[in-house]
Structure 1
Amino acid sequence: MTTDRKNSIKQTVIDTASRLFYKQGYGNTGINQIVEESGVVKSSLYTAFRTKEDILMAYLETAGEATDKALKQASEKGNSPKEKVLAVFDYLIDLVQQKEYNGCNFLNIIAEIPAGTERVVKQIQHQKNNVRTLFTQLLTPIGKEQLADEIYVLFEGSLMANKVHNRVWPIERAKNIINHLL
């Protein structure tokens, strides 16, 4: 099997699993469903990934890269550090109102994985630390980097409250608090 073919199979599995994990959850998605919906034969899937958890790790890495890029791009819509942070929350407001939105990929997974799934937890922590770092970077020019963790907690809390209430108001309220903080 050529490298291009292996990469194509791997990407097909990741794309299919990502859609399924996000839509129906990790625990509710079986290998057989990934095989069926991806069109990849099971032996090829296991050549690309040893375990379902390996597929999950690829999903989290891919989603993390996309999330980091989207948050950075959103922040660039602001001119001042304050506007940049608020622009991240504007992005969240738009995101949670999309029809396909089903909560934060990472919070969804962390809520359903079994205890002791350390490498998955570490991958999610890595992505969430990237969000914290983004807020630190945005606030450093105005000497308010010490507020990065508070803003991060508002970011995460508003995403969880949005998932619970299925309304945009938690993110709007978090943005309002940040507007007052900065």
Structure 2
Amino acid sequence: MSVTSPRKSARERLLAAADELFYAEGVHTVGIDRVIEHAGVAKASLYSCFGNKDGLVRAYLQGRHDQRRKRILGRIEQHDDPRDRLLAVFDSLADSVAKPEFRGCAFYNASAESEPDSAAAEESAASRAWTRSLLTDLARDAGAPDPAGLAAQLVLLYDGAMVGARQDRDPSTGRTARAVAAVLLTAALQDQPRSAVRP
């Protein structure tokens, strides 16, 4: 069903247009007039549904987060083994960055364009907090003695893989990140004291 399908409500059409345009071109590059035109709705619909452009950006990012959360949890639920469940987060990442339409992380892109107190920054922070919490819980379930510490490493790896895949246009980056995550997890489970590790 297209963005302008009459079967969609004005809100759905605006969100579909925003999702397509904001992700491809940026939340500040794309003005509301372009979103309205692409959605095929009256300007008043945007204000009645979202209040203003910030409200539309917030809803766009919330939608992106919901999609991402469902995608990641869907991969996790395919596994029973705690180690595989943690690595499934990186399987989901590998799927995402390998898609031809991948343009980087919607949250990184939007927050980089925005002020620190903007809707984009707030939604990006919320999404990152969810990712960090998820990885901490999965690391704990896998038996890591310092689940928060391992999660911090994995978040950095996740971030780097997203940026690297976008910058290098390399769809294999996600698989590489998964391999590194497996090494980090194995090392964490061995629980070697830092003093025992030689440079």
| TM-score bracket relative to the smaller structure | 0.7 to 0.9
Deviation string for 1:21-73 (max 9, x for gaps)? 01111122111111111111112222222211110000011111111111111
Identity score, percent:
29
Aligned length: 175
Equivalent residue, structure 1, for 2:25 = 24
CA contact (8 A) 2:46 2:52 kept: no
CA contact (8 A) 1:10 1:48 kept: yes
Using structure 2 for the length normalisation, give the TM-score. 0.81
CA contact (8 A) 2:165 2:174 kept: yes
Aligned-residue Cα RMSD (Å) equals 1.7
Q: Which has the higher helix share?
A: 1
CA contact (8 A) 1:72 1:134 kept: no
Distance 1:56 1:181, change over 3 A: same
Gaps of 5+ in 1: 1-6
Shift of 1:181: 2.0
Read off the aligned partner of 1:74 and give its amino acid letter. Answer: R
Task: Determine if the alignment matches structure 1 residue 101 to structure 2 residue 102.
Answer: yes
Shift of 1:74: 1.3
CA contact (8 A) 1:89 1:171 kept: yes
Indicate the structure (1 or 2) with the bigger Cα radius of gyration.
2
Task: Determine if the alignment matches structure 1 residue 48 to structure 2 residue 69.
Answer: no
Gaps of 5+ in 2: 1-7, 186-199
1:1-182 to 2 correspondences below 5 Å: 8-113=9-114, 115-144=115-144, 145-146=147-148, 147-182=150-185
Equivalent residue, structure 1, for 2:196 = none
